[in-house]
Structures are given as structure tokens and as C-alpha cells.
Structure 1
Amino acid sequence: MKVKRIVANVNTKDITAAKRFYQDVLGLDLVMDHGWIRTYGLNEEMSIQISFASQGGSETPTPDLSIEVDDVDAALEGMKRAGFSIEYGPVDEPWGVRRFYVRDPFGKLINILAHELS
């Protein structure tokens, strides 16, 4: 298993407030918009994104950090073997990801995910 991407999530009631700073001033594109979450980045190879969310999707809490991996099930088994408790999932979400939530050693809620192949 290898990490493919790490995405920071910022919890906010007003996800529209990010547009002026991150898109208008910094020049990032709106690369995803599900209504409850908007992600800004570039449509080219990159390793940095920042999302603004009013929830974590499926009415879950907004995770502190999202980490994309190439094999969610391998990551899940690794977390379980290491003794970390799974707080949500694993689940195949309607927007095309398979994911689970786990707390890191510092109490941060981490969303481990992989995009499902169509």
C-alpha cells in the first residue's frame, strides 16, 4: 500500500467564503463541488489540495485530514492490526469513493479513501 494523496479538510458553515481567497486571489480552480464540500486545486499533477466542508458527507463529522491510498482494504487491515479503532466504515459512498474514518494518535479524525474505478 502507498499513499497517493493527502487532502486537508477545513470545517466551516460557509464553504463559499473560500472562493475569494483560494480561487480569486491564489488562482486555484474549483475542482470538485458536491454542495456540502468544495475542493480547490489544479487540474494537473499536484500533491496539495484544501477542501472546505459543512460535514464529512453521509452526515458524518468533517475529518481533520483525508488521505487517499491505492488500497483502502489494505489500509483498513493495517489500522486494525495496529490497534486503531475504526469510527466509520468501510463504506462505498455514492460519490465514488470507498473509505473509513480512524483517529490518529493525536485524536485527529482521519478519512482514509480510494476513488472507485468505474
Structure 2
Amino acid sequence: MKVKRIMSNTATSDIDKAAAFYGEILGLDLLMDHGWFRTYGSDEKMTVQLSFGTEGGSGTPVPDLSIEVDDIEAALARCEKANVPIEYGPVSEPWGVRRFYARDPFGKLVNILQHE
């Protein structure tokens, strides 16, 4: 048996909030819309990963979700324009990533990063 896909699910009473953060700010496509359940994603091929930690690095809390982007400065500018709270960074970390932490509309701590 092989794992083919891993999906993150977040319970909410207002799924429209996902469109602004994950669709407009991070540029993910709406892949499925049942009205009561929406899935955002991209056609990029990604490695399946699950991470577990006692901290998020540099003394930060473990984020709920990590999203790698190809342009960290554009992601940061979009967050700032949308008044999304930045809780950490942006910072270049000693392990070779530039990143920042932001809260999504559901209170999830999201680590947005780019490999340097």
C-alpha cells in the first residue's frame, strides 16, 4: 500500500474565508466545491510529508501548516495588503529557508516559506 495524497481539513462555519486567504493571497485554485466543503490546491507535484516537532525552530511554536512558495516577498506583500497578522518574521533561518508566520482566518498558524 502507498499513500497517494494527504489533505488538511479545517472545520469552519464560514468557508468563504478560505477563498480570500488560500485563494487570493496564496494563489491556490479552487479544485472542488460541494457548497459545504471546498478544496484548494495547485497542479504542482508535491512530496507527501507529515512533520512533528517540539518547536517550530528558532524558539517559535510548531505551526499548524507549512506552505512553500516560490516568491516569499510577494506572499508577504499580499498578506500585509490584506491586513493578515504576521506573527513571526520575515526572517532567513540558519537551515536555509526564508519564512514568516501568519494566522489564517480560522486561527491556524501558517509557516509560509521559501528555500534560499
Normalised by the shorter chain, which TM-score bucket? 0.5 to 0.7
| 2:93 is the counterpart of 1:93 | yes
Partner residue, 2:14 = none
Unaligned residue ranges in structure 2 (runs of 5+): 1-7, 9-44
TM (norm. structure 1) is 0.59
TM (norm. structure 2) is 0.60
Q: Tell me how far apart the structure 1 counterparts of residues 92 and 46 of structure 2 sit (CA, whole Å).
A: 25
Q: Tell me how far apart the structure 1 counterparts of residues 114 and 87 of structure 2 sit (CA, whole Å).
A: 17
Q: Which amino acid aligns with 1:94?
A: P
Q: Tell me how far apart the structure 2 counterparts of residues 110 and 47 of structure 1 sit (CA, whole Å).
A: 18
Q: CA deviation at 1:83?
A: 1.1
Unaligned residue ranges in structure 1 (runs of 5+): 1-7, 9-44
| 2:15 is the counterpart of 1:52 | no
Q: CA deviation at 1:46?
A: 3.6
Residue 76 of structure 1: SS of its match in structure 2?
helix
| 2:109 is the counterpart of 1:109 | yes
Identical-pair percentage: 67
Q: Tell me how far apart the structure 2 counterparts of residues 72 and 48 of structure 1 sit (CA, whole Å).
A: 21
Q: Tell me how far apart the structure 2 counterparts of residues 46 and 74 of structure 1 sit (CA, whole Å).
A: 21
Partner residue, 2:23 = none
Could you give the per-residue CA deviations for residues 81-113 of structure 1, whole angstroms, max 9, x where no partner exists?
Answer: 011010000000000000000000000000000
Partner residue, 2:83 = 83
Partner residue, 2:68 = 68
Two-structure CA RMSD over aligned residues (Å): 1.3
Alignment: residue pair count = 73
More strand by share: 1
Indicate the structure whose relative CO is greater, using CA pairs within 8 Å and at least 6 residues apart.
1
Residue 94 of structure 1: SS of its match in structure 2?
coil
Q: CA deviation at 1:48?
A: 1.9
Residue 50 of structure 1: SS of its match in structure 2?
coil
Q: Tell me how far apart the structure 1 counterparts of residues 66 and 105 of structure 2 sit (CA, whole Å).
A: 15
Residue 53 of structure 1: SS of its match in structure 2?
coil
Q: Tell me how far apart the structure 1 counterparts of residues 46 and 115 of structure 2 sit (CA, whole Å).
A: 16
